[in-house]
Amino acid sequence: MSDSCNTPFGKRRPFLLVGTIAILISMVIIPWCLDLGYLFGRENYYQGFAIAFATFGFWMLDFSSNLYQGPARFLLADLAPIEQQNIGNAMFSSWLAFGSIVGSLVGYIPFSDIPFVSAIRSPIGTIFYNFIQ
């Protein structure tokens, strides 16, 4: 799809921009899903709305990360010389794997034991509270 896109910004950059904005929006929705559910739901029924916001946020995050990764790989192929494309793709995949591992390990951090985080109402804690409940 980005191969046929002809804009003043190039073939790949508009998709990278839209993917980045969508990732940012989803990263705002996910941590505040409980609060958004409370805002849009009734007093006793806000948890369903919170789960809907969390589901939508995760879906949007998955979609936007795929929207971002495809053009990023193609941009690498467009900009890197032929002899460096294999190394560039390997580095891209390695950093992607590293980020996935670090992101998965964040779930094991006991945020309630960290004094600064427990002193404020953490949006990260809101995510885990929704799924534990």
* Domain extents in the chain: 6-132
The whole-model pTM stands at 0.65
Chain centre to alpha carbon of residue 77 = 24
In the three-class reduction of DSSP (H, G, I as helix; E, B as strand; rest coil), residue 12 is classed as coil
Average pLDDT, the chain: 79
In the three-class reduction of DSSP (H, G, I as helix; E, B as strand; rest coil), residue 95 is classed as helix
Segment among 50-64, 86-100, 109-123 with least mean pLDDT: 109-123
Indicate the pLDDT class of residue 36, thresholds 50, 70 and 90.
confident
For residue 120, pLDDT over 70 is answered with no
For residue 133, pLDDT over 50 is answered with no
Q: Which amino acid is at 122?
A: S
Residue pair 30/128 in contact by the 8 Å Cβ criterion: no
For residue 20, pLDDT over 60 is answered with yes
For residue 122, pLDDT over 70 is answered with no
